[in-house]
Structure 1
Amino acid sequence: MIGIDLNTVEDEEEGGPSAEPPRGTVCLELWHACAGPVGPLPRKGSAVVYLPEGHLEHTREAVAAVPPHVFCRVVDVNLQADPATDEVYAQVSLLVDNEEAKRRMRQGESEEACDGDGEDTGAAKRRARMPHMFCKTLTASDTSTHGGFSVPRRAAEDCFPPLDYNLQRPSQELVAKDLHGTEWRFRHIYRGQPRRHLLTTGWSAFVNKKKLVSGDAVLFLRGEDGVLQLGVRRAAQLKNVSPFPALFNQDSSLRSLGNVAHAVAMKSIFHIYYNPRYFADCFHNRLNCLY
């Protein structure tokens, strides 16, 4: 999920320790793969302009005393995945910094707009090292309770550990971590006429747990460390589920524009949440990078 959901704004000073934002532990490459094509995220330390009118377009609350342009510095960018839906999103932490941001803007330091992942330039180098990855749109057979997951041979040989094709029924156990670090175990076999790669035992449990349907996509990625990871990219948002269910279940004050007004007055940190798949255009219209 990426695109600032400007309905979801959190003030750093509200609440106790439980209000602390979750720390990003999601694999960078897997996060981007699940997000799909997205625009650049602001870099940590960069200056941005937050436009509150974008927030007002997504909420019915009364207008708070917030200026039309809020100059901020990006304190942190955490890549996250919602535990209920596996949708990816980014939490951008902003510190109101009017004087410094204005000074930088006057100096014309707007050449380096945004980095692609909210991190330093080393992240771009990591992205340049394309991991072993494949993405497959699920068929009706892939999501059947009595079926398995059919893997194209080239994808299986590139991403999975090698099978011994000299055996009558080559097979192995695969262990893959999802976006939350949960390990999933699958039986990988090579059989049939013509022979094909299949994930059998363990696959139905994964499909049921993730509520996957035909048309959704599954991604497998093997990084340089050899760890196999997997994620999902849904064809459509789950019915009756908010794009940010875990966040919207928190106290409603997290969605209040009043928190932004408070942060502006106190020059404190507030957080915005960006869903790349549902609110990408909104995000880049509402949070403009200066440098």
Structure 2
Amino acid sequence: MEFRNFCVMEDEEGVRLDVFLSEQLEDMSRSYVQKIIKQGLVKVGEKVEKAKYIVRENDIVEINIPEPKCLEVKAQDIEIEIVHEDDDIIVVNKPQGMVVHPAPGNYEGTLVNALMYHCRGNLSSINGIIRPGIVHRIDKDTSGLLVIAKNNNAHSGLAQQFKEHSIERTYEMVCVGNVKQDEFVVDLPIGRNPSNRLKMAVVKGGKSAVTHFKVIKRFDGYTHIRANLETGRTHQIRVHISNRNTPLLGDPVYGAKKSKFKLEGQLLHAKTLGFVHPGSGEYIQFDSCLPEHFENIIKILESNYSL
């Protein structure tokens, strides 16, 4: 087992034990942390505590992380676009409609299934059985760049950069509505929507979330925008832009249920990804072209919705 401990700081107290640990161990899911707690592998001040325990300043939290089990995810010969690959990492350009990792009810056809086949199982095991190699995610209907760790050292190095918000992540999108400002920053906390737990929302007491936006081009009723993530919360861009009453085109969750453009999901693409290579220590950056479905919408807007 891997032993780790943490001291609760003043600004970290007042939250559940499972929440505190999932924030410290950002490369692990909260459900996986809860599982470890249920196994009695987490102590606070030498006492085994439950997930609902509220941490206090100066608490010493100790966790024993079990050795990873043999990966049981099915390797599938699914074509993926590889942008870069070496002994430590692999960068892929995920298509719209592909789920990143298996989940209940959806154990096949994911990016992880494809990676298991391509990498012959040589992926980091830190993030549990069904998420090998996965350091960060993008939504099923968001296309674009992802970096995957091929070993645990690479995973830890990348996870630390995500925790420090030092990774460069730039997205492009089309919004419904006319965005008037050329450049603007949205600095609003994000948490679970209290009236719909399946959605995120701008909520008091949520996690800090900052997004930098810049208009690329305006159309009649639509705006092509670039966004740079300063933080990386769940649905951050989708929540922040919809909070301004200009939701993403095709977003059925935070925007209109239907779209005249017959899209299969939000028009959002993770275009640029830059980080310090966990092996070499050198900064590297990758850029991807807009996918065909995105380019087609831009052509339609330029032809029929030009200002």
Common fold, TM-score beyond 0.5? no
Higher helix share: 1
The structure with the largest alpha-carbon Rg is: 1
If asked which structure has higher relative contact order (CA below 8 Å, sep 6+), I would say 1
The normalised TM-score by structure 2 is 0.24
**TM-score under structure 1 normalisation?**
0.24
